Amino acid sequence: MFRNVAELVELAQSKNKKISTIMIEQEVEVTGKTREQILSQMETNLDVMEKAVERGLQGVQSVSGLTGGDAVLLQEYIKKGTFLSGEILLDAVSKAVATNEVNAAMGTICATPTAGSAGVVPGTLFAVQRKLNPTKEQKIEFLFTAGAFGFVVANNASISGAAGGCQAEVGSAAGMAAAAIVEMAGGSPAQSAEAMAITLKNMLGLVCDPVAGLVEVPCVKRNAMGAANAMVAADMALAGITSRIPCDEVIIAMYEIGQSMPSALRETAQGGLAATPTGRALEAKIFGLPLLKK
Phi and psi (nearest 5°) for 266? -125, 70
| The pLDDT of residue 276 is above 80 | yes
| pTM beyond 0.95 | yes
Give the pLDDT score at 290.
76
Q: Kindly indicate the confidence band of residue 292, based on its pLDDT and cuts at 50, 70 and 90.
A: low
Cα angle value 206/111/258 (rounded, 5°): 25
Please report how many Cα atoms fall inside a 13 Å half-sphere around the Cα of residue 183, on the Cβ side.
31
pLDDT tens by residue, 211-235:
999 999 999 999 999 999 999 999 9
Which of the four pLDDT bands, split at 50, 70 and 90, describes residue 100? very high
Distance CA 152, CA 149 (A): 5
DSSP H helix total and E strand total for the chain: 14, 0
Average of per-residue pLDDT across 61-84 = 98
- Sequence-ordered list of residues with C-beta below 8 angstroms from that of 206, at least 6 positions apart, any chain: 165, 166, 167, 170, 171, 222
Mean pLDDT of 21-46: 98
| pLDDT band at 1; cut points 50, 70, 90 | confident
Instruction: Give dist(CA 126, CA 96) in Å, integer.
Output: 9
Domains of the chain: 5-285 (1.10.4100)
Contact partners, residue 79, CB within 8 Å, separation at least 6: none
Q: How far apart are CA 269 and CA 280, in angstroms?
A: 10
Q: Is the model's pLDDT at 65 over the cut of 80?
A: yes
178 CB neighbour count, 10 Å cutoff: 35
Give residue 254's pLDDT band: very low, low, confident or very high (50, 70, 90).
very high
| DSSP track, 71-136 | HHHHHHHHHHT--SS-HHHHHHHHHHHHHHHHHHTT-----SS-GGGTTHHHHHHHHHHHHH---H
